[in-house]
């Protein structure tokens, strides 16, 4: 069972902003010798960070100049070590190896749950005192809610990476197709079903062929994305755990509304409204379907209809338009889960750390000047600023970040600066990101009951059974969806799940939830 629904898949799809702060192996240190107008260079204090995105390592003169500017401003001689494989296993293994071997590692990005575990293991420093002494810009410009999210039992675990989105996933519908078929934007699940029928039968793409797909998915695990986007129409806490009449948290699959959700999906699948390749589709195939002008509606992250999809589709259908909506259901919450203000933090390790210098480096990025320097480089050297504060690179391609001579290598802190574009590269994709962000952020949303609780699953008696419990439920969902077993068998499926260890899982989660609630009351 996915204990944190939609977050992981959405996170994986979250674009440049979170990728900037996502961290990855072995780059050479920038030049630190020589002189500055005949004066000896201040060598600074070397600090070492881990970054999980080796594409940021350009090894250019512009990169060295950014390094030197940071040293001038903060006294930090920053060296970034890179690890291949993204922020998952390989980078985590690299981090653990550096820490266990005694190799210098002062700072790295951790998810908040990882940071809680690292704090409990005594690996990282609480930053309260360091922020008071060396972090005035961070305290001024990072929103308080982000620091609250990064606080565990009164300890600030790290510098939060602000999320630019209030809502991550949504159902997106082709508004231009609705207009062509003279249909209103659906407000309810039943009205949406009529849209699906029209998209299937009335040739909205106008090519005379029955090739349109009424409902597809993009960006993430297909069935999980359907749960995330349509769950709010059927369930009292969308696809988060809910409280029964006795106040006990239970998984969404145990709510009667989940069986109603399954029944509707099965019905739509039987009517041909769902993409036949949905469950086995890859990200590439999902993007190709959208780019080919075939997807009438898409369950996706906010950016799922843009990257490698919308940017291709617009060449043949310039006025295409996906709009995000929330559908009202008879028994659902009819609001989307609010995205956490921060998913991850930059922590300072106890071992090998020069905490003051690391904090000064972080705090410099708490200024707009430092933020732009570490993100895009030196203005006039690596980029220029177009109207509206949008960035254009001084490179072969003005808007292709892959061809920039410097991009994000030294970026850790991310702040949503008021009045500034969240994605400031002067390209069509960034413009669409900013627009879609505004659209999804306007949708109605709610805070899940236990969204701020940090669950340490390693302490659960059910922990050894979690993989089996997850696998069983995922398998049964697919079998029901495909019509192999009837929807009415769902109650029996959940009884078996409870017997397999689900009851213990519910007890474990409720125990930690109650403890967290007690700590909150004592503050």
pTM of the model: 0.86
On whether both 159 and 177 belong to a single domain, the answer is no
DSSP element (H, E) containing 208: none
Overall domain count for the chain:
3
Q: What is the pLDDT of residue 55?
A: 93
Q: Is the dihedral of CA 223, 228, 233, 238 positive or negative?
A: positive
Cα separation of 211 and 39, whole Å?
70
Q: What is the pLDDT of residue 124?
A: 97
Give the number of other CB atoms < 10 A from CB of residue 24. Answer: 26
pLDDT per residue as tens digits for the range 192-245 = 999 999 999 999 999 999 999 999 999 767 899 999 999 999 999 999 999 999
Instruction: Look at residue 452 and tell me if it is in a domain.
Output: no
Q: What is the pLDDT of residue 6?
A: 37
Cα separation of 105 and 47, whole Å?
8
On whether both 156 and 290 belong to a single domain, the answer is no
On whether both 193 and 264 belong to a single domain, the answer is yes
On whether both 375 and 514 belong to a single domain, the answer is no
Cα separation of 501 and 494, whole Å?
11
On whether both 86 and 191 belong to a single domain, the answer is no
On whether both 127 and 206 belong to a single domain, the answer is no
| Residue for token pair 């005379």 | 208
| Residue for token pair 């070492």 | 48
End residue of a domain, out of 337, 355, 382: 337
**Which range of residues forms the domain containing residue 54?**
7-164+342-420
Instruction: Look at residue 20 and tell me if it is in a domain.
Output: yes
On whether both 348 and 395 belong to a single domain, the answer is yes
The CATH number linked to 112 is: 3.40.190.10
On whether both 151 and 205 belong to a single domain, the answer is no
Cα separation of 77 and 483, whole Å?
61
Instruction: Look at residue 328 and tell me if it is in a domain.
Output: yes
What is the mean pLDDT of each successive set of 10 residues along the chain, which is 523 residues long? 39 38 37 46 89 94 98 97 76 92 95 92 96 98 96 95 92 98 98 98 96 92 92 97 97 97 97 95 95 98 94 96 97 94 95 91 98 98 92 96 96 94 93 94 95 88 97 97 96 98 98 86 58
The pair of structure tokens assigned to 457 is 């699953």
Residue 34, φ and ψ in degrees, nearest 5: 95, -165
Closest by Cα among 224, 217, 333 to 278: 217
pLDDT per residue as tens digits for the range 104-144 = 999 999 999 899 999 999 999 999 999 999 999 999 999 99
Instruction: Look at residue 389 and tell me if it is in a domain.
Output: yes
Cα separation of 276 and 216, whole Å?
9
On whether both 133 and 193 belong to a single domain, the answer is no
Instruction: Look at residue 290 and tell me if it is in a domain.
Output: yes
On whether both 21 and 160 belong to a single domain, the answer is yes
Cα separation of 62 and 378, whole Å?
8
Q: What is the pLDDT of residue 25?
A: 36
End residue of a domain, out of 337, 354, 381: 337
β-pair partners for 169: 301
The pair of structure tokens assigned to 239 is 């696809």
The answer to whether 345 and 150 have CB atoms below 8 angstroms apart is yes
The answer to whether 289 and 295 have CB atoms below 8 angstroms apart is yes
On whether both 363 and 328 belong to a single domain, the answer is no
On whether both 347 and 382 belong to a single domain, the answer is yes
Instruction: Look at residue 112 and tell me if it is in a domain.
Output: yes
Instruction: Look at residue 449 and tell me if it is in a domain.
Output: no
End residue of a domain, out of 337, 359, 379: 337
Q: Please list, residue by residue across 403-438, b when 16 or more beta carbons sit within 10 angstroms of its beta carbon and e when fewer do.
A: ebbbbbbbbbbbbbeeeebbbbbbbebbbbbbebbe
Residue 98, φ and ψ in degrees, nearest 5: -65, -40
DSSP string, 429-461: HHHHHHHHHHHHHTS-EE--TTTT----GGG-T
DSSP state for residue 501 in the 8-state scheme: I
Q: What is the pLDDT of residue 519?
A: 74
Instruction: Look at residue 81 and tell me if it is in a domain.
Output: yes
- The alpha carbon of residue 483 and the mean position of all alpha carbons in its chain are separated, in whole angstroms, by 32
The 3-state secondary structure of 76-110 reads EEEEEEECCCCCCHHHHHHHHHHHHHCCCCCEEEE
Cα separation of 290 and 305, whole Å?
7
For the chain, percent helix, then strand, then coil, each to nearest 5? 45, 15, 40
């Amino acid at each position: 069972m996915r204990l944190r629904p939609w977050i992981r898949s959405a996170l994986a799809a979250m674009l440049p902003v979170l990728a900037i702060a996502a961290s990855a192996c072995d780059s050479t240190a920038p030049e630190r010798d020589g002189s500055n107008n005949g004066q000896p260079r201040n060598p600074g204090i070397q600090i070492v960070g881990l970054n999980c995105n080796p594409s940021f390592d350009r090894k250019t003169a512009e990169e060295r100049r950014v390094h030197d500017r940071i040293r001038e401003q903060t006294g930090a001689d920053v060296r970034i070590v890179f690890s291949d494989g993204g922020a998952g296993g390989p980078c985590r293994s690299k981090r653990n190896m550096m820490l266990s071997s005694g190799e210098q590692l002062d700072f790295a990005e951790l998810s908040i749950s990882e940071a809680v575990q690292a704090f409990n293991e005594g690996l990282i420093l609480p930053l309260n005192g360091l922020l008071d002494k060396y972090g005035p810009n961070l305290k001024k410009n990072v929103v308080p809610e982000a620091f609250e999210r990064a606080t565990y039992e009164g300890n600030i675990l790290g510098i939060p990476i602000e999320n630019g989105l209030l809502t991550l996933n949504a159902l997106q519908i082709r508004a231009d197709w609705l207009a062509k078929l003279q249909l209103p934007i659906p407000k309810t699940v039943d009205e949406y079903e009529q849209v699906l029928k029209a998209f299937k039968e009335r040739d909205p793409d106008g090519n005379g062929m029955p090739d349109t797909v009424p409902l597809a998915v993009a960006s993430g695990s297909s069935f999980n994305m359907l749960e995330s986007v349509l769950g709010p129409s059927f369930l009292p806490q969308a696809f988060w755990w809910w409280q029964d009449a006795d106040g006990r948290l239970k998984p969404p699959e145990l709510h009667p509304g989940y069986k109603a959700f399954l029944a509707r999906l099965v019905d739509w699948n039987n009517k041909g409204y769902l993409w036949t390749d949905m469950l086995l589709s890859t990200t590439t195939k999902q993007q190709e379907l959208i780019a080919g002008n075939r997807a009438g509606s898409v369950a996706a992250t906010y950016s799922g209809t843009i990257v490698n999809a919308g940017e291709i589709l617009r060449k043949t259908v310039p006025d295409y338009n996906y709009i995000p909506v929330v559908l009202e259901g008879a028994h659902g919450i009819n609001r989307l889960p609010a995205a956490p203000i921060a998913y991850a933090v930059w922590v300072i390790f106890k071992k090998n750390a020069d905490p003051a210098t690391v904090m000064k480096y972080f705090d410099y990025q708490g200024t707009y000047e430092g933020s732009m320097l570490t993100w895009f480089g030196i203005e006039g050297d690596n980029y220029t600023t177009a109207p509206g504060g949008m960035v254009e690179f001084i490179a072969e391609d003005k808007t292709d970040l892959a061809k920039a001579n410097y991009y994000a290598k030294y970026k850790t802190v991310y702040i949503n600066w008021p009045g500034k574009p969240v994605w400031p590269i002067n390209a069509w994709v960034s413009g669409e990101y900013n627009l879609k962000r505004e659209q999804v952020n306007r949708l109605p949303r709610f805070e899940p009951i236990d969204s701020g609780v940090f669950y340490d699953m390693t302490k659960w008696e059910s922990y050894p059974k979690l993989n089996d419990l997850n696998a069983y439920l995922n398998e049964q969902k697919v079998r029901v969806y495909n019509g192999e077993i009837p929807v009415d068998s769902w109650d029996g499926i959940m009884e078996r799940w409870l017997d397999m260890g689900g009851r213990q899982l519910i007890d474990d989660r409720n125990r930690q939830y109650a403890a967290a609630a007690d700590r909150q009351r004592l503050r």
